[in-house]
Structure 1
């Protein structure tokens, strides 16, 4: 399903949004994280996929590979650490902490009694746990029933205390808030709710690095397809492009699972609302039932189209990327990472849909591969090949160039 956003605008970046998120803060975040041991020191690859571009019928297809951003395996490594850093700087101004020193663990003794908590589908919690371990504070992660044991173990490996509950992601968000209130802990969430916007804003602002690297790699791009979820990634990328490019910003299309369509439903309603389905999706990072009200402030005017896809389409896209379809470089892309390609394929398979979003043989399209095989066993089951085997094919492809 596809809907055009009637409130999308091509004007200059609004001043009220600039007061919340801006490129100056995004670039400062990027500088702070530049020395963190869990992050690569360089921009993530922007792979040119000429074979897929020909197959789909677009002029150029570029995929930004966030799987190699960090040993944490996903773009979330840009958000949670920044939110935790800025929280600590606000909470303890008397210490005059330096952000890079915090990430290097030079103030862990002063923060040993400070505790943060978050709900997660996997990647945000893993990034928060790693940041807390580096800084030296305590981290508690709430996991709902649909988060696999494999993802739980990956988070616990960074020293987090795990709390398991029944229910879905939204239930885990409520439980994290309740535990924080009872214990005096601080919630570091990537979704906002009433009277809770500052920390999610910092998380979203961290994702501006992705947009900054894309612009530096050489635009202009005509279309950028972004994963849905609660809207945080999309808001972080859209806001940066919108401020830098103004009326010349790319066309933004947000893709999410059919059964976790909170952003699609928000576009229909004209305000943040809930998903219409069960929320449970193989795209675990996008299995969110309720739109972040803060993220919606940026998406309401900055996103041109919202669309939904089936789980099977995402799995097919994962396999296509792993195989190095049409002679392109083989890529390890997790379940949520493949959503953009699945969405693009769905649009290009229908001439009316492609025309509606302005896609044709002259389009220069960017997709974000937001995660690697963050659940390796599930990845191998879905793709029919291990991540390491795909990486071996990638190395062979690069050597043969």
Structure 2
């Protein structure tokens, strides 16, 4: 289902939003992260999938592959570490702490009694646990009933203490807030709520690294990006990306389309009402990272004016998109994209199957579409079950593809 956001604007980036998130702050975050051992050096790849573009009827498809951002396997390696650093700098303003040294563990003894906590569907918790381990502080992660044991083990591997609840994601957020109040811990969440905006802002600002790399990479492509498909969730990733694009390109910003599971449609409902809203469905989705029931009010302040269309997809659409990316073809390399990572492609496929919807979104043979594959096989067993091949198997075929291409141009 697709709806047009009548509140979207093509005005220049407003000063009131720039005071919250800006290109300058995103670049500062990028600098701080550049020396952290938790992410790999350099930019993640921006692949052109020309065969898929031809098959779907668009001019070009670019895929930003965040699965190789770090050993964490997702874009969340960019948000939680920056939020943790900025939190510590605010709490110890007079100690002369160096942000990059902090993530390198230079002050581990100082923060051994400092505890951070967060609820998660998996990837944010893993990013926070890794950053806390680097900084030397304690990390507690609250998991809801639908988070797999496989994802739990991946978080615990970074030294986090795990708390399990029987409810959903939104109830895990409430439990994390309760535990923080009782124990004088600090919540490092990627979703905002009443009286809690600084840290979610910092998380979103960390995602500006992705946008900065896309701006640099797309400048070298054969045509500028016209459309960007972004995963929903609480809205943090989308806000971090569209705000950077909006400030950079102004009135020429790409058309933005948000995609989320039909049973976790909080952003879709927000677009209908004009205010941050709750999902209408069960929230449980195979797209675990997008199974969120409530829109982040802070993120919505950016999305309400900068996202042109909102849409929902079925779980089976996401699985099909995972399989399409994994398969590749003669001209397109195979890509490992997890359940949430492939949501953007699922949305594009759905629109291009319906000529009326494609026209509504302005998609045609002249369009250059940007997709962000936000995660790889972060739950390897789930990935293999859904795709029919392991992530390692897909990566082996990707290497063969790249080796063939390199030898061809040698």
Q: What is the TM-score with the length of structure 2 in the denominator?
A: 0.97
Q: Which runs of 4+ in 1 moved over 2 A?
A: none
C-alpha separation in 1, matches of 2:265 and 2:259: 9
Residue 132 of structure 2: aligned partner: 132
Q: Does 1:155 align with 2:163?
A: no
What secondary structure, in the 3-state scheme, does the structure 2 residue paired with 1:95 have? coil
- CA shift at 1:94, angstroms? 2.4
- CA shift at 1:327, angstroms? 3.7
C-alpha separation in 2, matches of 1:346 and 1:327: 22
- CA shift at 1:325, angstroms? 3.8
C-alpha separation in 1, matches of 2:271 and 2:329: 34
Q: Does 1:291 align with 2:295?
A: yes
Give CA deviations for 1:164-197 in whole Å, capped at 9, x if unaligned.
0011000000000000000000000000000000
Among residues 218, 233, 240, which one is paired with 2:237 in the alignment? 233
C-alpha separation in 1, matches of 2:374 and 2:69: 9
Provide closer, same or farther for how the CA distance between residues 325 and 316 of structure 1 changes in structure 2, counting only shifts above 3 A.
Answer: farther
Residue 334 of structure 1: aligned partner: 338
Residue 259 of structure 1: aligned partner: 263
- CA shift at 1:326, angstroms? 5.6
C-alpha separation in 1, matches of 2:95 and 2:385: 49
Give CA deviations for 1:110-161 in whole Å, capped at 9, x if unaligned.
1111100000000000000000000000000000000000000000000000
Q: Does 1:321 align with 2:303?
A: no
C-alpha separation in 2, matches of 1:19 and 1:379: 40
Computed over aligned residues only, the root mean square deviation of the Cα atoms, in angstroms, reads 0.6
C-alpha separation in 1, matches of 2:110 and 2:395: 42
Give CA deviations for 1:231-284 in whole Å, capped at 9, x if unaligned.
000000000000011000000000000000000000001100000100000000
C-alpha separation in 2, matches of 1:393 and 1:211: 28
Within-5 A mapping of 1:373-384: 373-384=377-388
Q: 320-329 vs 70-79, which deviates more?
A: 320-329
Which 5+ residue runs of structure 2 have no aligned equivalent? 406-410
Among residues 371, 386, 391, which one is paired with 1:387 in the alignment? 391
C-alpha separation in 1, matches of 2:181 and 2:119: 14
Residue 372 of structure 2: aligned partner: 368
C-alpha separation in 2, matches of 1:160 and 1:59: 45
Residue 187 of structure 1: aligned partner: 187
- Give the conservation status (yes or no) of the 8 Å contact 1:52–1:326: no
Among residues 267, 278, 283, which one is paired with 1:279 in the alignment? 283
What secondary structure, in the 3-state scheme, does the structure 1 residue paired with 2:370 have? strand
C-alpha separation in 1, matches of 2:259 and 2:96: 42
- Give the conservation status (yes or no) of the 8 Å contact 1:143–1:172: yes
What secondary structure, in the 3-state scheme, does the structure 2 residue paired with 1:109 have? coil
Q: What is the TM-score with the length of structure 1 in the denominator?
A: 0.99
C-alpha separation in 1, matches of 2:63 and 2:250: 23
Within-5 A mapping of 1:50-69: 50-69=50-69
Q: Does 1:5 align with 2:5?
A: yes
- CA shift at 1:200, angstroms? 0.2
- CA shift at 1:38, angstroms? 1.3
- CA shift at 1:96, angstroms? 1.2
Give CA deviations for 1:320-343 in whole Å, capped at 9, x if unaligned.
111114641000000000001110
What secondary structure, in the 3-state scheme, does the structure 1 residue paired with 2:94 have? helix
What secondary structure, in the 3-state scheme, does the structure 2 residue paired with 1:17 have? helix
C-alpha separation in 2, matches of 1:182 and 1:326: 57
Q: Does 1:308 align with 2:312?
A: yes
C-alpha separation in 1, matches of 2:24 and 2:323: 38
